[in-house]
């Protein structure tokens, strides 16, 4: 009889994941910390054109690029003379399941069916669940979505509950858990029991699927505007969104600056039962964005294909109140009612555009669908019920878990630039903290790629860490 205790299941995880994904990650390992990332991505086995064809056959991709003329004009009111870039948004809510994650799901489900799996499993409280359910329905496969939904009182966040309803409507079985360490354990048990495909967000297939998004942005800007965008802003959580988009831009030979955006939830622990319902955002926040950027391999596969620090040039954060405000702004000024994930990047874009010349092009690379639990008012009502003080003022005074401050005036939407050197140093520290011997040349070069720097930078950081 199989022993399904927590420790025994976790001891079998490598074997379970290998069977459920069909990838031997060991063949990419080089030494203690380095692995051949590009070879892993190349082994996806589909060209970008093939991925586009697969996605288009499944109502995914070729989404509109929309200019936000009224929001651009408002941003220019607060910008210095000659500043205020044109703001565009890629309307990913037009995909079959209502978000860019349909791109990730389309190829993953296609791969699952091709390999003969009878169903797919995804661990997600976000839009990916609906995307997997939608694509599985099209492919005639079963789907199970595992969510962290409730705190120990049985209270669930309205946005997560909304997404569960959407997954069920698309034919998925939804397994809802309370917050804590049992999520990965439960997924492993289900994978082992069912023999289904692990439609992880972090496989090479899932991340390569997002390359079509970056490629389309470059393609559409050239067609509509006769030039490439100057900046592309991506909401950052687990890192696959930014990674895939950036890789697609590179494949299009587009040199746009890639900027990460997250909601500031500093001080809240994502696995804390008491703090779980103190936040108003379930994704796109620093509770995922920072740790997954500085330690990518904390995922449900041995080596994550989402490695955002390789590509981001800036990382900016905004307060919860700023994102709620920009969500209302998008609806009332542009007639576009969208959910909070893409609007995180839009809140950053509103401030960032004011630092750019008027003839510059800035693209927010996603929107998402909205629904009953994802609207501003249900979120604010839920926050108020959980003791959060909500008022108008300066969002810079917001304290995550205690207050949500809506800006009194659009001029107060002011994204905060993060220290990229601190983030790079954190990644290097995380990668090397268990090492006793000097780094090899391959390890140094790997970390240079991981941090988008060079070998001398890595050696200097390592030397300073050893001195402490």
CATH class of 6-53+99-202: alpha beta
Q: Where are the domains of the chain?
A: 6-53+99-202, 60-97+207-417, 423-467
Segment 154-171 mean pLDDT: 91
pLDDT at 358: 98
Burial class (CB in 10 A: 0-12, 13-18, 19+), 442: middle
Residue owning tokens 């019920």? 385
pTM over 0.85: yes
> Is-contact 369 93, C-beta < 8 A?
yes
Residue owning tokens 């969208």? 338
**CA within 13 Å, CB half, 130:** 23
Segment 133-157 mean pLDDT: 94
* CATH level 2 (architecture), domain 60-97+207-417: 3-Layer(aba) Sandwich (3.40)
Give the 3-state secondary structure of residue 351. helix
> How far is it, in rounded angstroms, from Cα 348 to Cα 466?
36
Return the ∠ at Cα 220 (arms to 214 and 224), rounded to 5°. 150
**Distances in Å between the alpha carbon of 379 and those of 107, 128, 225, 320, 373?**
32, 20, 37, 11, 7
pLDDT at 40 > cutoff 70: yes
Closest to 129 measured CA to CA, from 170, 158, 91: 170
Both tokens of residue 104? 């990730």
**Average predicted confidence (pLDDT) for the chain:** 95
> How far is it, in rounded angstroms, from Cα 387 to Cα 385?
6
Give the 3-state secondary structure of residue 119. strand
pLDDT at 27 > cutoff 70: yes
Residue 437's pLDDT band (cuts 50, 70, 90): confident
> Is-contact 101 122, C-beta < 8 A?
no
Gyration radius of the chain over CA positions: 21
pLDDT at 134 > cutoff 90: yes
Residues 339-386: tens digit of each pLDDT: 998 999 999 999 999 999 999 999 999 999 998 888 999 999 999 999
pLDDT at 1: 66
Ranges of H-type helices in 140-210: 158-169, 182-194, 204-208
What beta strand segments (E) does 264-422 contain?
314-318, 361-364, 389-393, 403-407, 416-417
Residue owning tokens 């401030």? 351
Both tokens of residue 257? 């600056």
Q: Residue-wise over 403-421: b if at least 16 C-beta within 10 A, else e? A: bbbbbeebebbbbeebebe
> How far is it, in rounded angstroms, from Cα 25 to Cα 48?
22
- Phi and psi of 429, rounded to 5°? -60, -45
> How far is it, in rounded angstroms, from Cα 344 to Cα 352?
12
Same fold, 6-53+99-202 and 60-97+207-417: yes
């Amino acid at each position: 009889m199989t022993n399904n205790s927590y420790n025994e299941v976790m001891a079998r995880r490598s074997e379970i994941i290998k069977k459920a994904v069909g990838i031997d990650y060991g063949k990419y390992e080089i030494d203690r910390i380095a692995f051949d990332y590009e070879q892993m991505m190349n082994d996806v086995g589909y060209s970008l054109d093939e991925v586009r064809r697969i996605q288009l056959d499944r109502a995914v991709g070729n989404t509109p690029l929309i200019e936000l003329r009224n929001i651009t004009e408002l941003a220019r009111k607060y910008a210095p003379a000659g500043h205020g870039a044109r703001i565009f948004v890629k309307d990913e809510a037009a995909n079959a399941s209502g978000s860019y994650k349909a791109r990730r799901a389309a190829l993953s489900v296609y791969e699952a069916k091709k390999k003969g799996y009878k169903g797919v499993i995804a661990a997600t409280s976000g839009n990916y669940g609906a995307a997997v359910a939608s694509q599985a329905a099209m492919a005639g496969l079963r789907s199970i979505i595992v969510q962290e939904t409730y705190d120990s009182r049985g209270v669930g966040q309205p946005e997560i509950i909304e997404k569960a309803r959407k997954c069920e409507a698309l034919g998925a079985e939804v397994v809802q858990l309370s917050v804590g360490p049992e999520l990965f354990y439960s997924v492993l048990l289900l994978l082992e029991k069912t023999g289904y495909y692990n439609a992880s967000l972090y496989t090479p297939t899932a991340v390569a699927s997002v390359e079509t998004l970056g490629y389309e942005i470059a393609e559409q800007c050239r067609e509509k505007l006769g030039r490439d965008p100057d900046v592309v802003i991506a909401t950052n959580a687990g890192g696959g969104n930014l990674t895939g988009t950036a890789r697609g831009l590179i494949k299009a030979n587009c040199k746009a600056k890639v900027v990460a955006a997250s909601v500031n939830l500093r001080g809240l622990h994502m696995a804390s039962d008491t703090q779980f319902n103190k936040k108003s955002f379930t994704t796109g926040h620093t509770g995922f964005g920072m740790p997954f950027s500085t330690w990518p391999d904390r995922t449900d596969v041995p080596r994550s294909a989402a490695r955002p620090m390789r590509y981001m040039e800036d990382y900016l954060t905004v307060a919860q109140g700023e994102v709620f405000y920009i969500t209302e702004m998008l609806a009332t000024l542009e007639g576009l009612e969208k959910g909070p994930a893409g609007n995180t990047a839009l809140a950053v874009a509103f401030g960032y555009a004011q630092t750019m010349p008027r003839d510059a092009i800035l693209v927010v690379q996603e929107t998402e669908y909205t629904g009953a639990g994802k609207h501003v008012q249900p979120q604010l009502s839920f926050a108020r019920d959980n003791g959060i003080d909500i008022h108008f003022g300066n969002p810079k005074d917001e304290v995550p878990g205690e207050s949500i401050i809506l800006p009194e005036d659009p001029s107060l939407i002011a994204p905060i630039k993060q220290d990229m050197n601190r983030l790079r140093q954190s990644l290097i520290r995380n990668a090397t903290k268990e090492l006793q011997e000097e780094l090899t040349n391959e390890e140094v070069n790997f970390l240079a790629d991981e941090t988008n720097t060079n070998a001398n930078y890595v050696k200097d950081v390592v030397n300073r860490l050893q001195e402490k």
